[in-house]
Amino acid sequence: MAENIIIRVQSPNGMKKIPATKKETAAAFLNKVGKEFGFPSNGFTVFLNRNKTDEVQSQNKTLSLLKIKHGDMLYLYPSGSPGPAGETMDVATPHSSSLPSTSHSSSSSSSVMSRSHSAPHISEDEIDQYLAKQEGKIYRNKDPQLCRHGSMGKCVHCVPLEPFDEEYLSHLEPPVKHMSFHAYIRKLTGGADKGKFVALENISCKIKSGCEGHPPWPEGICTKCQPSAITLNRQKYRHIDNIMFENHTIADRFLDFWRKTGSQRMGYLYGRYTEHKDIPLAIRAEVAAIYEPPQIATQNSLELVEDPKAAAVEEIAAKLGLRKVGWIFTDLLSEDTRIGTVKYTRNKDSYFLSAEECITAGHFQNQHCNPCRLSPDGHFGSKFITVVATGGPDNQVHFEGYQVSNQCMALVRDECLLPCRDAPELGYAKESSTEQYVPDVFYKDKDKFGNDITYLARPLPVEYLIIDITTTFPKDPQYTFSSTPRFPIENRDILGETQDFHSLATYLSQCTSTVFLDMVSDFHLLLFLVTNEVMPLRDSIGLLLDAVKTKDEELAQTWKKSEQWATIEQLCSTVGGQSSGPQEYGAMGGGPSTPASSSAMWSCLHCTFMNQPGTELCEMCSLPRG
């Protein structure tokens, strides 16, 4: 029995244990490895070291002569695999050569990260690639009272701190409860082992397939295929550290639907991910536009319906340099319409997100996973955010940002979490049935004596699943799109705001700007030009989208001279707007615009409210028609 040994073999697809003997030849052992991993005899290479050195060749030498002992780890690479820069178990990082010489510690940390259980061929987001190159250390000035050294020295009072230093984060204003995801990675890959055994593994609540020692569930289950029990913990890191709307107009136009109808509203946030400099190695989600999909809205509920324009919206956003970064919904109840206050309903005494909203957020986050080379699955967590427009302590509308934890994502993905009907602040972990095995889910809380008590998550307080994110507006507004034009928002037919060529003619006639690029720099207008049924411009609008993205007026003027825009002008003049012909559109033909017709509804230039014909003052804001 002493001759029997077990050799571990790690491959890009995982690790397996191969039984062997000390006197077994290398050729016989490699044959076993090929059968275990499903490779032909010449389809792989095995090395003694992770960095592809000391190849184990097919020969008649025994394993003992090759100094392969019981419990050793060998490394398998399929034939034709890329070089060390792209491998799962490599030692070089593709970005290490571009790092500045002053960031030696960051370079070594990034090198460690790329060799620890990463997935090959994973294209991470640009912001993740950028932050992986940064040093991230928190530099401190020399303390005049505590530091007793020269200007070139360092001591415990002024030495740079690591980006995951919890004491430093807790003393920021406001205090930071969650370190950034990249700071969390630096914490895992620090220390003496440099993250050698670190792997960002996604939680699975499903029975592992391929277990042949017993009948399938519900007739049988074993410890090999049974998923582990889950103990919920409050997540210490977050993938997004700040949410910023570029300007107040984006949020105000979204809230107009509730102001005019009293019904709730939902929309998708489109923007980009940038560095958030207030927190070490942090990421900010910047919101540039809100797309409102088809939905059935009431005062107390929202129901999404199938969206035929979803693919077109994604395509337009991508060409504009934007992506779907999250979703937003309202939960507003008017308190006093005379002064415009709303009720403060979401607080510590009720809930911040309901269980149903957590499940929806988890569903969206699973649809938009975060690419990660450090995970064997190629993804880990999500950057998708949730924003709630609700009443605040001052009875004004506040925007609160959240994400749900990776544990919640796993429970939602594997259909293990349900909402409670009568208690929105509580979820419920499903029980196992003949159709589905559900692992036990626990959470810890303190009793009245301060002792940690473990409870079964039936029911489950959803605060264990929530991560809060600060939501802000900049002091100096930013505009990806023009600030003055306001083309009607899609899917608001209930308000009388329709996207058609009549509304386009009206919009162009009311435009005060003579700059063509300012006219067309509106996300909702661009979406209408691509998706309208009369003359969709999906195949010919690329040049205009490039002009809007780069703010290039000359490029926009080039597209304006195209046959497609001439046809759009002709259609507008045919259907008629608030002007009598295309030559009178100030932005289209360069001439002055005519006064609005008194026989048609008109949109207020200040608040966009649709007013009845024959009125000169806006019924909503009381400002002149202008």
Question: Are residues 309 and 419 located together in one domain of the fold?
Answer: yes
In a domain, 177, yes or no: no
What does the pLDDT look like over 109-135, one tens digit per residue?
333 344 444 445 788 999 999 998 888
Please report, for the chain, how many H helices and E strands are present, in that order: 16, 27
* Domain boundaries, position 416: 236-433+464-472
How confident is residue 2, by pLDDT bands cut at 50, 70 and 90?
low
**SS3 track for 442-507:** EEEEECCCCCEEEEECCCEEHHHCEEEEEEECCCCCCCCCCCCCCCCCCCEHHHCECCCHHHHHHH
Whether pLDDT at 55 is above 90: no
> Of the residues 50, 78, 106, which one is the last residue of a structural domain?
78
Question: Are residues 299 and 378 located together in one domain of the fold?
Answer: yes
What does the pLDDT read at residue 200?
87
How confident is residue 600, by pLDDT bands cut at 50, 70 and 90?
low
**Is 452:444 a contact under the CB 8 Å cutoff?**
yes
Q: Name the residue among 272, 278, 267, 380 with its Cα closest to residue 317.
A: 272
Whether pLDDT at 254 is above 90: yes
In a domain, 443, yes or no: no
Question: Are residues 242 and 313 located together in one domain of the fold?
Answer: yes
Interhelix angle 542-550/523-531, rounded to 10 degrees, is 170
Q: Distance between CA 186 and CA 191 in Å, rounded?
A: 10
In a domain, 362, yes or no: yes
In a domain, 29, yes or no: yes
Q: List b or e across 551-560, with b for residues whose CB sees 16 or more CB atoms inside 10 angstroms.
A: eeeebbeebb
The answer to which of 218-227, 247-256, 305-314 has the lowest mean pLDDT is 218-227
Share of the chain above pLDDT 70, in %: 87
How confident is residue 87, by pLDDT bands cut at 50, 70 and 90?
very low
Whether pLDDT at 324 is above 90: yes
Question: Are residues 468 and 531 located together in one domain of the fold?
Answer: no
Which CATH number characterizes residue 359's domain? 3.40.140.10
Q: Does the CA dihedral 443-447-453-457 come out positive or negative?
A: negative
Question: Are residues 420 and 547 located together in one domain of the fold?
Answer: no
In a domain, 618, yes or no: no
What does the pLDDT read at residue 591?
38
The answer to which of 195-204, 346-355, 398-407, 556-565 has the lowest mean pLDDT is 195-204
* Bridging pattern class, strands 282-291 and 242-245: parallel
In a domain, 118, yes or no: no
**Is 103:163 a contact under the CB 8 Å cutoff?**
no
Q: Name the residue among 148, 160, 60, 146 with its Cα closest to residue 102.
A: 160
Q: Distance between CA 178 and CA 180 in Å, rounded?
A: 6
Whether pLDDT at 360 is above 60: yes
> Of the residues 410, 442, 472, which one is the last residue of a structural domain?
472
How confident is residue 196, by pLDDT bands cut at 50, 70 and 90?
low
How confident is residue 603, by pLDDT bands cut at 50, 70 and 90?
confident
Question: Are residues 425 and 279 located together in one domain of the fold?
Answer: yes
Please indicate whether residue 261 or residue 113 has the higher confidence score (pLDDT): 261
What does the pLDDT read at residue 595?
42
Exposure of 417 by Cβ count < 10 A (0-12 exposed, 13-18 middle, 19+ buried)?
Answer: buried
Share of the chain above pLDDT 90, in %: 45
Q: Say which residue the tokens 């809230």 belong to.
A: 255
In a domain, 254, yes or no: yes
Segment 482-491 mean pLDDT:
84
**SS3 track for 52-93:** CCCECCCCCCECCCCCCCCCCEEEEEECCCCCHHHCCCCCCC
Question: Are residues 499 and 425 located together in one domain of the fold?
Answer: no
The answer to which of 119-128, 400-409, 438-447 has the lowest mean pLDDT is 119-128
Segment 469-492 mean pLDDT:
89
pTM score: 0.73
What does the pLDDT read at residue 197?
66
> Of the residues 78, 98, 122, which one is the last residue of a structural domain?
78
Question: Are residues 405 and 500 located together in one domain of the fold?
Answer: no
Number of domains in the chain: 3
Q: Distance between CA 184 and CA 380 in Å, rounded?
A: 13
Question: Are residues 391 and 509 located together in one domain of the fold?
Answer: no
Mean pLDDT of the chain: 84
Question: Are residues 243 and 358 located together in one domain of the fold?
Answer: yes
In a domain, 170, yes or no: no
Question: Are residues 277 and 399 located together in one domain of the fold?
Answer: yes
Question: Are residues 350 and 383 located together in one domain of the fold?
Answer: yes
Whether pLDDT at 98 is above 70: no
Whether pLDDT at 626 is above 70: no
